[in-house]
Amino acid sequence: MSLSLNSSFSRQLRQEADPIFNAIYEHPFVQGIAKGTLGREQLIHYVKQDFEYLNAYMRVYGLGISKCTDRQDIAMFNDKIGFILNSEVHPHHNFCRVAGVSYEELQGYPLAPTAQHYTKHMLSVAAQGTLGEIFAVLLPCPWTYMESAARIIRDVQPGLDHPFYEWIRFYGDTLIQPRMQLLCDRLDEWAVTASPQEKERMREHFLISSQLEYKFFDMAYTLQDWPVQVLGGEPVEH
């Protein structure tokens, strides 16, 4: 398919989200990664929440697969599920090692308010939206991390002695780039034939996911939780 007119829809969305991407980079959680100063409780809260977030993210891929008419799109989602299961555990292991806890003991916790908001946002778009809307709601996740990590590499030039070296290299590295590009390309192709109304929904999903990326770091930094503890904060069976 020709990428002519709308080939820049993803760039247009990225441009519009520029203040959000900048605010994410400036957020004390991301700056705490850059400076290697994040606290143990913040790392633990992040990993507990992100483990569950990534489970939901894979379910969104599954719902995406249910809407694919093309084998290449199925292969793209399949590759992304494999990437989360097999590779995206490394940055979590990095945080766990610094916090001095095992990964297993941080799994199965209930979602805090912002993680709940973000996962429900993605799952509702996945259930109700088109494949193009699913591309849009998913894209800020790899994009914000890739850019934040690339900026940390540029600004801090972390060496092997940096406590979060692995996390930074994982997201700033070239492995993520081609996968993200594929999702951008599919979003751009979709936008070529999408109606103005659908494109507006895609735009809204992209911007809300970008805002929720900021809120997710803020949730981890402030140890955000529900106002009243009724579950005892223990892991729960799903």
Ligand X SMILES: Cc1ncc(CO)c(N)n1
Could you list the active site residues?
141, 213
Give the nearest distance from C-beta 152 to ligand X in angstroms.
14
C-alpha dihedral sign at 188, 83, 149, 117? positive
Residue numbers 53-82 binding ligand X by CB under 6 A: 53-54
Stretch that binds ligand X, among 8-16, 93-101, 139-147, 185-193 (CB under 6 A): 139-147
Q: Which is nearer to ligand X, 145 or 206 (CB)?
A: 145
Q: Which is nearer to ligand X, 122 or 194 (CB)?
A: 122
Q: Is 50 in the site for ligand X (CB under 6 A)?
A: yes
Q: Is 52 in the site for ligand X (CB under 6 A)?
A: no
Q: Which is nearer to ligand X, 50 or 188 (CB)?
A: 50
Give the nearest distance from C-beta 117 to ligand X in angstroms.
11
Choose, by CB under 6 A, the member of 9, 25, 145, 221 that binds ligand X.
Answer: 145
Stretch that binds ligand X, among 4-12, 33-41, 137-145, 178-186 (CB under 6 A): 137-145
Q: Is 142 in the site for ligand X (CB under 6 A)?
A: yes
Binding region for ligand X (CB under 6 A)? 50, 53-54, 141-142, 145, 213, 216
